[in-house]
A and B are shown apart, each in its own frame.
Chain A
Amino acid sequence: MTDTKSIFVIIPCYNEGSVIRQTVEEVLAKGYRVVIVDDCSRDNSRKQLSGLPLYYLRHRVNLGQGAALQTGIDFSKKKGAKYFVTFDADGQHDCNDIAGMVEFLEQENADIVFGSRFLPGAKTNVSRSRSVALNLGRYINYFFSGILLSDSFNGLRLFSRQAVEKIKITENRMAHPVEILMLTAANKIKYAEYPVAIHYSDYSKGKGLKNKDGIKILFEIFLHKIFR
């Protein structure tokens, strides 16, 4: 059994004041270390977290989710983390899945485990239109990275130390999921997929990626391909 203190859960947050405390409390209850990367929130997120044992980092300027994740990864590396979990602040993930992902990573001898809401055994209430968009997204990601996942834009991922040594996210905004896949392929990192629950609330539907953001992501990947 892995020591839960060596598992760092990185939660980027941007104006998530109304839900952040509940999300963090659930993760802390499991005994994991929590790293909050506040991407220059304008709300009371910081105050909401007071009294909770966690690491709090704040970007002085809003940079985007990809940048916040990389900041959290850099920090966790310095703190000697063994496992790095990326976790959304809006409460759509279930922290009960983390233990299973760690076990699965060790069992598969992989360095990255991607959470998937579409594998058998995953509980999700994803809407039909979102489902279609995500399905299209996974083929687009496949086209750019050569990796076909069952769930292309799931925020719950687990990285080993070896993986984060090779992956550095430079896509600050929405294209970072694709960039992670491209880097996984380029560095021949062994990955696996694990069924995880996604619970969409009215709140989380309002936040996060919208279907129309697909165009923006495409444009960012296009630029990424040209300039790298």
Chain B
Amino acid sequence: MNINIIQIVLTVCITLIAIYMYMRLRSGLFDIILIGLFFVGGIFFTFFPETTNAIAHFVGVSKGANLLLYSAILFLFFLILKLYSRLRKIEEKFTELVRNKSLEEAEEMKEKD
């Protein structure tokens, strides 16, 4: 079996990401299963890339790489929207905090003659 450079690079990256994710969120069984699936799936598709073509054909896309690109764009777009909405919520809370503080500290200035 021939091993390409890209397969080595991908294997190293996937392994490192899996280890990092495991260290970050080793809390529950669910996380471990998720990370395990990511790891096994990633390695599998790295060494048997033709299988992605089969999946792509099944949903009506010509190549596995294209399918990956389309789904990645959709996923990233979804992620950006989520981040924006999170950002707005944080800003709302932050505004409330600053506002309440300023209401507490409001001063009534008096006329000086």
A residues at B contact (CB < 8 Å): 37, 49-61, 63, 67, 70-71, 74-75, 78, 170, 172, 223, 226-227
Report the interface size class on chain B. Answer: 20 to 34
A76, chain B: closest CB distance, angstroms: 11
A61 CA to B109 CA in the complex, in Å? 21
B residues at A contact (CB < 8 Å): 81, 84-85, 88, 91-92, 94-95, 98-99, 101-103, 105-112
Q: Among the listed B91, B103, B105, B110, which residue makes an inter-chain contact with A53, where contact means beta carbons less than 8 Å apart?
A: B110
> CB distance B111 to A53 under 8 Å?
yes
A102 CA to B107 CA in the complex, in Å? 27
A120 CA to B105 CA in the complex, in Å? 43
Q: Do most interface residues of chain A lie in helix, strand or loop, or is the interface mixed?
A: mixed
Residue of B nearest to A54 (CB): B109
A54 CA to B94 CA in the complex, in Å? 26
Q: Return chain A residues, CB-CB under 8 Å to B103.
A: 57, 71, 74-75, 78
Q: Return chain B residues, CB-CB under 8 Å to A227.
A: 84-85, 88
> CB distance B95 to A63 under 8 Å?
yes
Q: Return chain B residues, CB-CB under 8 Å to A57.
A: 102-103, 105-107
> CB distance B98 to A60 under 8 Å?
yes
